[in-house]
Chains A and B, each alone.
Chain A
Amino acid sequence: MSGNMNLTLKVWRQKNAKESGRFETYAAKGVSPDMSFLEMLDVVNEDLTKAAKDPIAFDHDCREGICGSCSMYINGRAHGPVKGVTACQLHMRSFADGETIIIEPWRAAAFPVIRDLIVDRQAFDKIQQAGGFVSVNTGSTPDANSIPVSKVNADEAFNSAACIGCGACVAACKNSSAMLFLSAKVSQYALLPQGRVEAKKRVMDMLKVHDDAGFGACTNTEACEAECPKGISVTNIARLNREYAAAMLVGE
């Protein structure tokens, strides 16, 4: 191995959704500070595999902070100690030699554990299926520049759309609310003329699926914003509330 850090890992192991889980302790030796957190886990997993033991299962794919697959709680924080990065972009130079690191899956009723650090986030897809779109068929669209959008709104919509759907907001919330995720999607469309047409129906439909999926209510603690790796702002939740109030008052 290529480094000189030695760490102790306490990792949540759970065979499947039905069996109960427990923490197991592993030694991670010879870790390089240049490794990403997931590369450090790769090393531990290679050792486990060679000993014909089950490696630690975790979701990961792009390893550059954009696909939103990685979903682990590191030392009591979603995606670990560094603000604004996902676990795959967290590097071991953010930890001290000799440290003990606790690694858990997202904990939320709406995100049941599938195995070890992997959780089921299909509830996010279901929220989007309820209204996270503009109802436009392929081909029936006017020239792109026929719909001007103010730069301020376009930039704001982009900031909301930057959500990667990882679920850190839910994991960080004491109520396991997905309000930051949901409000970011609602805001993106509410800020654009293309999305305004269906705005009322959208917010009502998406909120219903959110609540039915078992996500909790928002009580304005703002832990979601603090832990979001993409810096999605809680002002999205304020906009969601305005959209919801307008939909309730005016209706369709």
Chain B
Amino acid sequence: MKLDSKIPSGPLSEKWDNHKFKCKLVNPSNKRKYDVIIVGTGLAGASAAASLAELGYNVKTFCFQDSPRRAHSIAAQGGINAAKNYRNDGDSVYRLFYDTVKGGDYRAREANVHRLAQVSVNIIDQCVAQGVPFAREYGGLLDNRSFGGAQVSRTFYAKGQTGQQLLLGAYSAMNRMIGEGKIQSYTRHEMLEVVMVDGQARGIIARDLVTGEIERHSAHAVVLATGGYGNVFYLTTYARGSNATAIWRAHKKGAYFGNPCFTQIHPTCIPVSGDHQSKLTLMSESLRNDGRIWVPKQKGDTRKPVDIPESERDYYLERRYPSFGNLVPRDIASRAAKDICDNGYGVGNTGLAVYLDFSDVIKRTGEKAVEAKYGNLFDMYKQITGENPYKTPMMIYPAVHYTMGGLWVDYNLMTTIPGLYACGEANFSDHGANRLGASALMQGLADGYFVLPYTIGDYLSDVERTPIANDSPEFMDAEQKVKDRLQKLLNIKGKKTVHEFHRELGLLMWNHCGMGRTAEGLNAGIENIKKLRTDFWENLLVPGIEQELNQNLEKAGRVADFLELGELMMVDALNRNESCGGHFREEYQTPENEALRDDEGYAYVAAWEYKGDNQPHELHKEDLVFESVKLTQRSYK
């Protein structure tokens, strides 16, 4: 199949408006004859569900959590970008577009990113109208701050819990539609298969996680808004339940996977403390606005940080990148921390940590002002580590945080399966090879509130309005396959738990496909993951039965999918013989150890097609054409 990104023609700034006008409409009285399934209820899923229901479509939402409000968007701390230019500091739609394309190291689609920047301003209006309590100034207007990778203050925020407030806004809009009977919300349900009828996505198979019952749900279109797949690394800032199962099963049904190796390692997380650890906690990037990152100039300096004089500290980000300093993009800050620790300057018990120091800002503005801005983050740090960041610097280290890769989608957010859409982090999206801070919330809500409601109508206008039967042979067959697979997992009756496999997989991915990648390491990783997958299907132990709440069984299905996806990530990383953004191949770097792109060879989206179990994937290339932005070596010096 030839990839068609369906990017509209015409000047960049007019593409979206022209496209919206060309999208076919569905008559208001016909909208109620269409059913739409939305899987995942984070920012992208909840905003899409509410908006489509308001338009009049019948929406069914599915989430594995006990309430839509608990999706992991809730944990986003820092903020959401919008090109409002309320600060009069030179921001504009074009600048947000430009920063995002550049920040993504020129591996994103210009047209998508420009649309994202355009609708960013509407998102803030929408959220404020919903009653989202953004931070305000004394004049009663909205406050802004700057965020990693940007030199303007365009980030809107609600203390350190912007994600929760935006999600509760989208959830409240969903609730209104549930109350009106336009959304049916299925909670504690997990999607385990996409059902295809005549080559179109026409429904899903889901498991009721309380009773274990397998259910068939039909619809005229299916939207996957199931988030990213970073949990393939085991120790991450993701929620424990975050998984790739929905997108991976869709991939195996024919949806191409875009840029799977593009993962984001966030620079400011609380370091690992022991092998019992189940997750890593992020400390918002906003802390880099006021905190200064440093390590001792002398290797193995064991003095307390407060006892190390100014002259013996290396503020390495400020030294290496004088114009952006501590605000360089995430990929650069993370790699710099890894470099400095690999060279023996790291601090803490493990040597895998750097200091994030607030003493300057506390001296300058007082402890109270710092508390007002970051109080909840400081409390969280104290609770986890037992140390007081008002008195001693925080220790931080990079951790897996986001995946820029995901299901390949065209400009309409449709995957290569007709009728199947992917939005938010689940698609390969608008972030190229590196996402800028405060852009994930923006993209999730842009897709759900302002893109899908137009593009899905364009598709549905050509679809028969008759209800889709959920007992056709295609549905029955998909249901049986899901049941067989669950039984297969239960019947292995081996000796190793699913957590042991997951931990092993995570370590393997981190070592072979983490912050620094090499051809040699990736080749070895691919061999190792194949072995681990064989071991999994021979030695897994899942107690209990299918017809009950069985958390090990849920997790086993997810880890089985990660074991396949992890291999594709390494295949993609091996194919991409360049460094760009979060993808750092050690063979390809500049004399200053920065990522060295190969625009001649790799200015394309790698879209991988599944060809069958244990068969090599087929690579399809979508060439990235840059008409507005000139490709340069990113410089933040």
- Interface of A toward B, CB cutoff 8 Å: 1-3, 15-16, 32, 34-36, 38-39, 42-43, 46, 48-50, 52-55, 57, 59-69, 82, 84-85, 89, 91, 93, 114-115, 118, 120-122, 124-125, 128-130, 132-139, 141-145, 147-151, 154-155, 157-158, 161-162, 164-165, 188-189, 192, 194-195
Contacts of A62 in B (CB 8 A): 70, 72, 74-75, 239-240
Q: Shortest beta-carbon distance, A63 to chain B, in Å? A: 5
Q: Shortest beta-carbon distance, B400 to chain A, in Å? A: 15
Tell me if B240 and A63 are in contact (CB < 8 A). yes
Stretch of B126-134, B213-221, B245-253, B512-520 lying at the A interface: B126-134
B158, B178, B240, B282, most chain A CB atoms within 10 A: B240
A35, A66, A144, A165, most chain B CB atoms within 10 A: A144
A39 to B386, CA, bound (A): 17
The 8 Å CB contact of A60, one of B128, B240, B379, is B240
Tell me if B173 and A138 are in contact (CB < 8 A). yes
Chain A interface mostly: loop
Contacts of B548 in A (CB 8 A): 15-16, 115
Tell me if A138 and B276 are in contact (CB < 8 A). no
Contacts of A165 in B (CB 8 A): 67, 69-70
A75 to B39, CA, bound (A): 38
Contacts of B185 in A (CB 8 A): 125
Tell me if B70 and A125 are in contact (CB < 8 A). no
Tell me if A124 and B124 are in contact (CB < 8 A). no
Sorted from nearest, which 5 A-B pairs have the closest CB atoms?
Answer: A148-B140, A133-B172, A141-B129, A158-B133, A144-B128
Does any Cβ of A come within 8 Å of B589's Cβ? no
Does any Cβ of A come within 8 Å of B277's Cβ? yes
Tell me if A39 and B277 are in contact (CB < 8 A). yes
Stretch of B160-168, B465-473, B627-635 lying at the A interface: B160-168
List CB contacts (< 8 Å) of B528-571 with chain A: 541, 543-544, 548-549, 551-552
A120 to B209, CA, bound (A): 12
Tell me if B383 and A61 are in contact (CB < 8 A). no
Does any Cβ of A come within 8 Å of B122's Cβ? yes
Tell me if A194 and B140 are in contact (CB < 8 A). no
Contacts of A84 in B (CB 8 A): 379
Tell me if B65 and A69 are in contact (CB < 8 A). yes
Tell me if A134 and B379 are in contact (CB < 8 A). no
Tell me if B384 and A89 are in contact (CB < 8 A). yes
Contacts of B239 in A (CB 8 A): 61-63, 67
Please list 8 pairs of residues, one from A and one from B, whose beta carbons are closer than 8 Å in the complex, sorted by A's number. Answer: A49-B499, A66-B75, A67-B239, A138-B126, A158-B165, A165-B67, A165-B69, A194-B128
A239 to B138, CA, bound (A): 23
Does any Cβ of A come within 8 Å of B292's Cβ? no
Q: Shortest beta-carbon distance, B451 to chain A, in Å? A: 11
The answer to whether A42 and B383 touch (CB under 8 A), given A2-B276, A62-B239, A67-B72, is: no
The 8 Å CB contact of B175, one of A16, A67, A129, is A129
Q: Shortest beta-carbon distance, A188 to chain B, in Å? A: 6
Contacts of A61 in B (CB 8 A): 65, 70, 72, 239-241
Beyond A53-B543, A65-B380, A148-B139, 9 extra complex contacts between A and B, CB < 8 Å? A61-B239, A62-B239, A67-B239, A69-B65, A132-B172, A132-B175, A134-B172, A138-B54, A138-B449
Does any Cβ of A come within 8 Å of B92's Cβ? no
Tell me if B130 and A39 are in contact (CB < 8 A). no
Tell me if B164 and A66 are in contact (CB < 8 A). yes
The 8 Å CB contact of A188, one of B125, B128, B131, B497, is B131
A164 to B125, CA, bound (A): 24
Tell me if B383 and A89 are in contact (CB < 8 A). yes
Tell me if B541 and A49 are in contact (CB < 8 A). yes
Closest to A156 in B: B133
Tell me if B386 and A121 are in contact (CB < 8 A). no
Tell me if A145 and B74 are in contact (CB < 8 A). no
A160 to B282, CA, bound (A): 24
A158 to B384, CA, bound (A): 24
The answer to whether A151 and B179 touch (CB under 8 A), given A53-B543, A141-B129, A194-B131, is: no
